[in-house]
Amino acid sequence: MYVNVNFVGLLLLSYAYNVNNVEINCNNLRMGQYLCPDPDYDHIDFKTQQLAGCNKESGKAKVRCIAADGIICTETKNNSFTKEVNCKWTNGYSFETTLLLSVFLGMFGADRFYLGYPAMGVAKFCTLGFMFLGQLIDIILIATQTLGPADGSAYVIPYYGPGINTITSDNWTYRLKKDDW
C-alpha cells in the first residue's frame, strides 16, 4: 500500500518520535525536498558547455542530488541520489560563429550553409541575400536563437548557465476547455 506523506509531515513525524532518518524513495521527492547543486567540473562538457552525457533523444542528463536532512534514499541507502534533468543536446554549431557569418557573409548564404540548409544558402547566394532583406531577417532569427542548426541541436554558447528556451505550438498543442468560460 502506497501512502503519500508530504515532506513537512514526514519531518515533523521524525522529530516527534526522535527518529534521525526516514527511508523513502527519493525519485518521488518534491521541489524543496532535495537539492541538485551546481554541476561539478566532472559533469560539464567544456567543449559544449552543457551537462555531460546529454541524451539526444530525451534531452536529459543524470546529475547527483542531495536529499534534505533526515531523509535516506532507498536506492542508495544514504542522502544522495541521481536525477534526470533537462539539458540541451549540441552538435558543435557555435552561436558566435553563426552570428558573425550572418552579419558579414549572410548575403552570400554562408550562415545557412554553416547551419546545414544548403538550398536556402544557394538561394541567398544567387539573390544577394534576397536583396539584403533576407540577411537582416536571418540576423534577427539567429540572434534570438529562433533559427538553429538543421539537425535540431542547440548552439554551443561559450558559458554554462541560463539560455533561451523556445516555446512552439503545433497541431498537437491544444487548450483544455474550462467549464466557467
Does residue 120 share a domain with residue 76? Answer: no
Whether residue 160 is predicted with pLDDT greater than 70 in this model: the reply is no
Question: Is position 168 within any domain?
Answer: no
pLDDT at 40: 65
Asked which of 28, 53, 87 is the last residue of a domain, the reply is 87
CA distances from 174 to 102, 146, 170, 180 (A): 35, 22, 9, 18
pLDDT at 132: 93
Does residue 97 share a domain with residue 152? Answer: yes
Does residue 150 share a domain with residue 99? Answer: yes
Does residue 151 share a domain with residue 81? Answer: no
Per-residue pLDDT of 40-61, as tens digits, reads: 666 788 888 888 888 888 888 8
Whether residue 29 is predicted with pLDDT greater than 80 in this model: the reply is yes
Q: H or E stretch including 154?
A: strand 154-156
Retrieve residue 58's grid coordinates.
Answer: 530525451
Question: Is position 100 within any domain?
Answer: yes
Does residue 11 share a domain with residue 77? Answer: yes
Question: Is position 161 within any domain?
Answer: no
Determine the structural domain holding residue 104 and report its residue range: 92-156
Does residue 112 share a domain with residue 82? Answer: no
Question: Is position 99 within any domain?
Answer: yes
Per-residue pLDDT of 63-118, as tens digits, reads: 888 888 888 898 888 888 888 888 888 998 999 999 999 999 999 999 999 999 99
Asked which of 63, 87, 111 is the last residue of a domain, the reply is 87
pLDDT at 108: 96
Does residue 111 share a domain with residue 50? Answer: no
Does residue 27 share a domain with residue 65? Answer: yes
pLDDT at 148: 93
- The number of domains in the chain is 2
Question: Is position 32 within any domain?
Answer: yes
Does residue 132 share a domain with residue 116? Answer: yes
Question: Is position 175 within any domain?
Answer: no
CA nearest 48: which of 168, 166, 149, 167? 149
Does residue 118 share a domain with residue 75? Answer: no
For helices 133-143 and 118-126, give the axis angle rounded to 10 degrees.
140
Question: Is position 176 within any domain?
Answer: no
Question: Is position 167 within any domain?
Answer: no
Does residue 108 share a domain with residue 51? Answer: no
CA distances from 121 to 90, 104, 126, 127, 134 (A): 22, 14, 9, 10, 11
